[in-house]
Structure 1
Amino acid sequence: MNIEQARFNMIEQQIRTWEVLDQSVLSLLAVVKREDFVPAAYRSMAFMDLEVPLKDGGSRGRVMLQPKVEARLLQELAPAKHEKVLEIGAGSGYMAALLAHKAQRVLSLEIDEELARFAAENLKRAGVMNAEVRLADGSKAVPAEGPFDAIVASGSVATVPQHLLNQLKVGGRFCGIVGEEPIMRAVIVTRTGEREFRTVEIFDTLAPRLLGFEEPPKFRF
């Protein structure tokens, strides 16, 4: 496989056509080597328009999201060089690496010990020094480093957890995929005041549920 041709095709045929037009994001995708964050057994899938399994079974937060979804979330979150970002679900460390190139500091929480170690090793090998992976349950943990300028969930949640929104600075934003199959939507939630938040739906998609985030109770007669 011609790696650089596959990377070019991913960017031009999958990502750009999915309304990812920010040149800084497109250029970053050419720089951060996605294949270096994929488990060896699945490296041939690095540039495919698919979720890449990170562990056997490959669901419930144990996947890399489709490249176009990762890129679109990054574009919509739009982290800046002076900002501190919290990621829920480190996975392979790839999204943390992308965020780290655009933000001042990234803290990525991962509930799975094996994946936390995998992500940390990948980031170290890639020379990313301003991203930290921490073994923690993002559905419960409230990092002492908050509040944050931006928070991203690298997987889906049924509803946006209030404890995460409370970790935002005023003017900060949360980006994630919200809902239940068959309908989920990526949203941006901006904290506009001490108790005020504005939600904007940005695109429809599907993503595995993040580990630790409870499902809503099912209606029963």
Structure 2
Amino acid sequence: MANPAGLGYTENTDPDCLADDVAVEMLRAAPWRRIALVGDSTAHGAGDASPGYRTVYWAPRVIAVLRAAVGDVEFLNVGRINATTRQVADEQLDAAVAFEPDLLYIACGGNDLWVDQPDYAAAEDNLERTFAGGAKIGARLATMTIADAVPPGVPELAPFRERLDLINQVIRRVAERHDAILVDLWWHPVGHRPNVLSADNIHFNISGHAVVAAEVIKALAAAADHG
């Protein structure tokens, strides 16, 4: 049966996914053995199943590929659904730092937008604290922007799309200051696939997670290749 969430694709035919053997080879040179993930539902994992795709969120997919590529990898995920950038800095950073990761992945920002007037300066300060905390212990830093999954041609959603654009600008600035690995999902066409969102119309379903995992693997591979 065709999968509407993936334009008729399955995981094996989706052009934006990576075959397992290809992904493993891409990460053979990856130096990271202790990975911590902080953030909101993007980090924690949320999304409906998609026919034709393994029901696995993006982060466990990446870790499974990395383990297949390099062997033993320790992984800590302290992400929490609904966490704001301040809550990530206040409530998750210490646990992540105590884990002594060599790669700290930071995935948050969207929950700062569900207020009357988002405070982008405060969000940037919060992200800076989190990035700086990882940098202080020598961890390589990685992050992602939020995908543009706002349906086109819906005028009432235009203000929220602008908010997403602005928080992504914040994420990019902090990432650049810390020379972080950046997965810029804002420009990726997966966001405009029909029915890529879960029933809540907020989170990617599993077909989207599979594509996000592929983009993260590509970014990690490029960073590993360039030292």
Indicate the TM-score class for this superposition, using the shorter chain for normalisation.
0.3 to 0.5
| Relative contact order, higher structure (CA 8 A, sep 6+) | 2
Q: More helix by proportion, 1 or 2?
A: 2
Higher strand share: 1
